[in-house]
C-alpha cells in the first residue's frame, strides 16, 4: 500500500507546464525565471518560451502517431499498448446506414436581425467550368438559315473555330476542308455580307465557340435557339464590331462567373464590354436615324443586359434595359414619321431598305420580346413601375402569328401567360398604393382578380406547329410550371396568401416535382422563376418534399422525404452552370426570405405575431423589399 502523506509535508508538488522549451527538450527542471531561466543562463543556451502547439487528429493518424495519450495506458496484464481507432473508414461508415449527401447550412448573423433592406443580395459562386464541344453544333442549328452553312459563314467573316482536343484544351483548326465546293448562302436583305472590321484573336475564337456550343443551348427549351439562329448571322454579316464585342463579352462574363478563380475571363469581359459600349455610343451619335432603326443597336443592348446579369445582376443591367426602351420608342417615332411623310405606294417601296422591312423582322421582334419579358418577370418579385407596356403581349409575334397561347421556346410559356403576369403585377402595385386589405378590397380590384384567376385556370398552352415530337413534353411541362407559379404569385400578391395557406402547399409540391423531372432530363432553361416563386413560399414549419422518383440520386439523393429548403438549394446548385440567369443572386434572396420568415414566427407557428401591424401581405413584406433589379427570365 502507498505511504500515507504527512500533514506537515506542505502542498503537493505538481508538474508545471510553464517551463521553457529548451529545458523541456533537455529533460531538466526549469525554474521558470523570465526572460531567461537559470538553467539556460548557466549553460548559455537560448531560452525559448514554450508555445502551445495545436495537433489535429486526422494529421496525427496519417503520420501514425497517437493523438494525445489515447491508447497509451491500459489495464491489460500483458502491458501492451492498445491502439484505439480514431476514425471510422468510409466502408465501415456505409455499413452503419449513414447516408452520404450534400448538406447546406443557412447561418444567421447580426445583419439578419436588422430590418430587411433593398441592398443587393448575392451568394457565393464556386463552380468550375468546362467548354462544350462544337461537334453537336450542326444538330442544333435549325430555323433561320442552313445549319450546314455555319462554317462557311464563320470563315467568310475572317476566322476559324478552334477544335476541342481530348484533354479539353483548344487548338486552332482551319475550316478550309469544310469550304470546298461550298458557297455562302443567300441571306435576308438585312444580312447582306459587309466588310467585317473586327480582327479575331485566338481567344476571341474560343469565346465565340463557347457562345455557340455552350451558351446558346442554355437559352431555349428546344434544339433551336434564337440567340443562335438570329444573332450569329447578324453579328457576322452586319459589319457591326460593337455587336460582336457584346457577344464575346457575354461569353467571357459567363466563363468568369463559373470559373471564379480565373480572373483572366473577367478582364476579357470588361474589355469587350467596354469596346461594345464605346462602339454603340459612337454608332448612335454618328449614324443618325439609320443607327436607331437598324437591329444591331438593340442586339448589342440585349447582349450587354445578359452580360451584366451573368456578372452581378445589379442595377447595371437595368440601365441597358432603360436604354433599349428609349431606342425602341424613338425607332417607332421615326418609322411613323417616315410613313406619314411618304406618299409612295407600298408596291413601289425599296424592300432592301431595313426601315421598310420593319414588320415581320424576326430580329427586331425577338429583341423587343426579350426586353419586355425581362421587365415583366423581374417586376413580379419587386413590384416596380413597368418600363414596357402590355401592347407587345396583346398581339401575336412574328413566329407565333396564329395564336397567343403558343409556347415560346425561349420564354418557356405563351404570350398570354406573360400578359396575365403583367396584369397581376400592376394590380399588386395598385393594391399596395391603395392600402387595400382582404376586407376592404375594392370591387374593381376583386373583379379583375377573379378574371385573372379564370384566365389562368382556363389557359391551355400548346407547342409550336413544327416542334419535334421528342421536345413537346418538355415544352408542355415547362409552360405548366410557369402557369402554376403564376397561380401562386396571384394568390400571395392579391389574395394575401402565405406559405401556411393550405391552398398554396399543393402548388409548391407540384412545381418542385416538375422542376426535379426537367432537371433530371437535362433541361434548365426557364426554370429560375418557378423555382424562385416556390422557394420563397415554402412553409417553414412543414418543410418536407416527397420526390416523384425516390430512386433518383441527382436531386433527391434517394430519399423518400427531404427538406424542401435543402431540395431548393440542391436545385440551385444544379442550375449554376446550366443557365444564363444569375442563380447566386436568386439564391441569396431566397435565403434572406427564409431567415426573415423564421425570425418572425411566434409561439403559434405563424408570422402574424409581433409584425402583424406591419403594412402589406407576405409577399410585400418578405420578397419585394430585397428583390430590386433582379432578373428571373
**Domain ends where: 322, 341, 360?**
341
Q: For residue range 412-471, what is the model confidence (pLDDT) as tens digits?
A: 999 999 999 999 999 988 887 776 555 555 667 888 999 999 999 999 999 998 889 999
Which residue is listed with cell 439609320?
290
The answer, yes or no, to whether residue 345 has pLDDT greater than 90, is no
Do 44 and 169 have their domain in common? no
pLDDT at 114: 60
- pLDDT category of residue 2 using cuts at 50, 70 and 90: low
For 579-601, how does the pLDDT look when each residue is reduced to its tens digit (9 = 90+)? 888 898 999 999 999 998 888 87
Same-domain pairing of 317 and 168: yes
Which of 316, 341, 366 finishes a domain? Answer: 341
**How many C-beta atoms lie closer than 10 Å to residue 536's C-beta?**
25
Q: Which three cell numbers stand for residue 93?
A: 461508415
Whether 116 contacts 622, CB under 8 Å: yes
- Give the pLDDT of residue 54: 79
What are the helix (H) ranges across 435-471?
443-457
The answer to whether the bond into 437 is cis (omega within 30° of 0) is no
Same domain? For 34 and 163 the reply is no
Examine residue 108 and state whether it is found in any structural domain, yes or no.
Answer: no
Range of the domain at 206: 147-179+198-341
Do 281 and 152 have their domain in common? Answer: yes
Q: What is the overall mean pLDDT for the chain?
A: 74
Within-domain flag for 336: yes
On whether both 31 and 171 belong to a single domain, the answer is no
Which of 9-13, 195-199, 527-531 ranks highest by mean pLDDT? 527-531
pLDDT bin (cut points 50, 70, 90) of residue 551 is very low
Summarised one tens digit per residue, pLDDT across range 154-190 is 444 444 444 433 333 333 333 323 223 333 333 333 3
On whether residue 26 sits in a domain, the answer given is yes
Question: Are 203 and 337 in a shared domain?
Answer: yes
Identify the pLDDT of residue 384.
83
Check whether 86 has a pLDDT greater than 90: no
Residue 72 has what pLDDT?
Answer: 59
235-249, 389-403, 463-477, 510-524: least confidently modelled range: 389-403
171, 305: one domain: yes
Compute the average pLDDT of residues 230-245.
86
State the angle between helix axes of 241-258 and 295-311 in degrees (0 to 180), rounded to the nearest 10: 10
- Which of residues 23 and 354 earns the better pLDDT score? 23
Cα Rg of the chain (Å, integer):
32
pLDDT for the residue numbered 59: 80
The predicted structure's pLDDT at residue 199? 63
The CB-side HSE value for 464 (13 A sphere, CA atoms) comes to 21
> pLDDT tens for residues 112-139?
666 544 444 445 443 333 222 222 322 3
Write down the pLDDT at residue 507: 93
- The three cell numbers locating residue 529: 422563376
In a domain? residue 245? yes
Residue 35 covered by a domain: yes
Q: Is the pLDDT of residue 219 over 60?
A: yes
- 208 and 62 belong to one structural domain: no
Percent above pLDDT 70 for the chain? 66
Who has greater pLDDT, 392 or 474?
Answer: 474
Cα(486)–Cα(489) distance, integer angstroms: 5
At 124 the pLDDT is 43
Q: Answer yes or no: is 278 within a domain.
A: yes
593-601 contact pairs (CB < 8 A, 24+) = 593/535, 593/536, 593/622, 593/623, 593/626, 594/106, 594/538, 594/540, 594/565, 595/106, 595/108, 595/112, 596/112, 596/116, 596/622, 597/499, 597/540, 597/622, 598/540, 599/108, 599/112, 599/113, 601/540, 601/541
Give yes or no: residues 204 and 334 share one domain.
yes
Whether the Cβ atoms of residue 612 and residue 251 lie closer than 8 Å to each other: no
The pLDDT value recorded for residue 444 is: 79
| pLDDT at residue 354, as a whole number | 37
- pLDDT at position 80 is 52
- CATH of residue 56: 4.10.240.10
Query: Phi/psi at 338 (nearest 5 deg)?
Result: -65, -35
Contact 153, 237 (CB under 8 A): yes
CA pair distance 338, 114, nearest whole angstrom = 56
Q: What is the pLDDT of residue 510?
A: 92
Q: For residue 251, is it within any domain?
A: yes
Choose the final residue of a domain: 20, 41, 66: 66
Query: Is the domain of 153 the same as that of 291?
Result: yes
What is the model's pLDDT at position 403?
76
Confidence of residue 572 (pLDDT cuts 50, 70, 90): very high
Residue 633 grid cell: 427570365
Q: Is the dihedral of CA 608, 611, 613, 617 positive or negative?
A: negative
pLDDT tens readout for residues 350-391: 433 333 334 568 888 899 999 999 999 999 988 888 888 777
Cα 315 from Cα 231, distance rounded (Å)? 25
Strand pairing class (413-414; 562-563): unpaired
Mean pLDDT, residues 258-262 taken together:
75
Look at residue 568 and give its three-state secondary structure: helix
The phi, psi pair for 490, rounded to 5°, reads -60, -45
* Short-list 505, 535, 562, 547, CA closest to 123: 535
| CA–CA dist 416, 437 (Å, integer) | 28
Indicate the number of domains in the chain.
2
Residue 632 sits at the vertex; the CA angle it makes with 404 and 254, to the nearest 5 degrees, is: 115
Residues 47 and 174 in one domain: no
Inside any domain, residue 465 = no
pLDDT of residue 406: 92
Q: Are residues 175 and 46 in the same domain?
A: no
pLDDT at 310: 86
The three-state DSSP-derived secondary structure of 379-395 is: HHHHCCCCCCCHHHHHC
Query: CA-CA distance, 283 to 104, in Å (whole number)?
Result: 49
Alpha carbon distance 196, 567 (integer Å): 49
Amino acid at each position: 500500500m502507498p505511504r500515507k502523506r504527512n500533514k506537515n509535508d506542505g502542498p503537493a508538488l505538481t508538474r508545471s507546464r510553464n517551463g521553457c522549451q529548451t529545458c523541456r527538450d533537455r529533460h531538466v527542471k526549469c525554474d521558470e525565471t523570465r526572460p531567461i531561466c537559470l538553467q539556460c543562463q548557466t549553460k548559455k543556451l537560448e531560452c525559448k518560451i514554450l508555445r502551445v502547439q495545436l495537433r489535429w487528429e486526422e494529421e496525427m493518424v496519417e503520420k501514425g502517431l497517437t493523438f494525445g495519450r489515447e491508447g497509451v495506458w491500459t489495464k491489460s496484464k500483458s502491458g501492451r499498448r492498445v491502439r484505439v481507432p480514431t476514425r471510422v473508414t468510409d466502408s465501415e461508415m456505409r455499413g452503419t446506414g449513414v447516408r452520404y449527401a450534400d448538406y447546406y447550412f443557412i447561418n444567421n448573423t447580426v445583419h439578419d436581425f436588422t430590418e430587411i433592406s433593398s441592398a443587393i443580395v448575392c451568394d457565393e459562386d464556386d463552380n468550375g467550368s468546362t467548354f462544350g464541344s462544337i461537334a453537336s453544333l450542326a444538330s442544333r442549328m435549325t430555323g433561320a438559315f442552313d445549319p450546314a452553312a455555319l462554317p462557311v459563314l464563320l470563315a467568310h467573316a475572317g476566322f476559324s473555330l478552334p477544335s476541342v482536343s481530348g484533354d479539353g484544351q483548344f487548338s486552332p483548326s482551319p475550316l478550309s476542308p469544310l469550304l470546298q465546293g461550298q458557297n455562302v448562302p443567300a441571306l435576308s436583305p438585312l444580312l447582306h455580307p459587309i466588310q467585317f472590321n473586327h480582327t479575331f484573336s485566338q481567344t476571341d475564337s474560343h469565346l465565340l465557340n463557347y457562345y455557340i456550343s455552350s451558351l446558346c443551348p442554355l437559352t431555349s427549351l428546344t434544339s433551336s435557339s434564337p440567340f443562335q439562329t438570329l444573332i450569329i448571322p447578324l453579328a457576322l454579316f452586319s459589319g457591326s464590331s460593337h455587336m460582336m464585342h457584346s457577344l464575346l463579352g457575354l461569353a467571357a462574363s459567363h466563363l468568369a462567373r463559373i470559373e471564379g478563380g480565373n480572373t483572366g475571363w473577367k478582364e476579357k469581359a470588361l474589355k469587350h464590354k467596354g469596346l461594345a459600349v464605346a462602339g454603340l455610343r459612337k454608332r448612335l451619335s454618328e449614324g443618325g436615324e439609320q443607327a436607331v432603326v437598324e437591329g444591331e443597336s438593340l442586339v448589342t443592348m440585349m447582349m450587354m443586359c445578359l452580360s451584366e446579369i451573368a456578372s452581378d445582376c445589379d442595377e447595371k443591367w437595368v440601365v441597358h434595359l432603360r436604354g433599349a426602351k428609349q431606342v425602341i420608342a424613338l425607332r417607332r417615332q421615326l418609322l411613323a414619321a417616315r410613313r406619314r411623310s411618304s406618299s409612295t405606294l407600298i408596291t413601289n417601296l425599296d424592300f432592301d431598305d431595313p426601315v421598310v422591312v420593319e414588320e415581320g423582322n424576326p430580329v427586331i421582334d425577338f429583341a423587343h420580346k426579350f426586353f419586355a419579358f425581362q421587365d415583366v418577370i423581374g417586376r413580379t418579385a419587386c413590384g416596380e413601375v413597368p418600363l414596357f407596356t402590355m401592347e407587345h403581349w396583346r398581339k401575336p409575334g412574328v413566329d407565333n402569328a396564329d395564336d397567343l397561347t403558343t409556347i415560346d421556346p425561349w420564354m418557356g410559356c405563351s404570350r398570354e401567360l406573360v400578359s396575365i403576369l403583367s396584369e397581376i403585377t400592376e394590380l399588386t402595385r395598385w393594391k399596395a398604393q391603395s392600402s387595400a386589405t382582404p376586407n376592404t378590397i375594392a370591387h374593381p380590384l376583386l373583379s379583375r382578380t377573379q378574371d385573372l384567376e379564370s384566365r389562368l385556370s382556363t389557359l391551355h398552352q400548346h407547342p409550336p406547329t413544327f416542334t419535334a415530337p421528342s421536345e413537346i413534353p418538355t415544352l408542355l411541362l415547362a409552360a405548366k410550371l410557369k402557369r402554376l407559379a403564376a397561380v401562386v404569385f396571384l394568390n400571395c400578391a392579391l389574395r394575401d396568401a402565405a406559405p401556411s395557406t393550405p391552398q398554396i402547399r399543393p402548388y409548391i409540391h407540384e412545381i418542385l416535382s416538375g422542376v426535379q423531372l426537367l432537371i433530371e432530363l437535362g433541361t434548365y432553361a426557364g426554370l429560375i422563376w418557378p423555382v424562385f416563386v416556390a422557394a420563397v413560399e415554402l412553409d417553414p414549419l412543414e418543410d418536407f418534399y416527397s420526390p416523384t422518383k425516390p430512386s433518383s440520386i441527382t436531386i433527391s439523393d434517394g430519399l423518400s422525404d427531404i427538406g424542401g429548403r435543402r431540395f431548393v438549394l440542391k436545385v440551385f446548385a444544379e442550375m449554376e452552370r446550366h443557365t444564363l440567369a444569375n442563380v447566386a443572386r436568386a439564391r441569396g434572396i431566397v435565403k434572406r426570405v427564409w431567415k426573415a420568415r423564421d425570425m418572425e414566427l411566434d409561439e403559434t407557428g405563424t408570422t402574424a405575431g409581433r409584425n402583424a401591424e406591419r403594412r402589406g401581405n407576405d409577399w410585400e413584406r418578405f420578397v419585394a423589399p430585397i428583390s430590386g433589379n433582379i432578373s428571373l427570365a
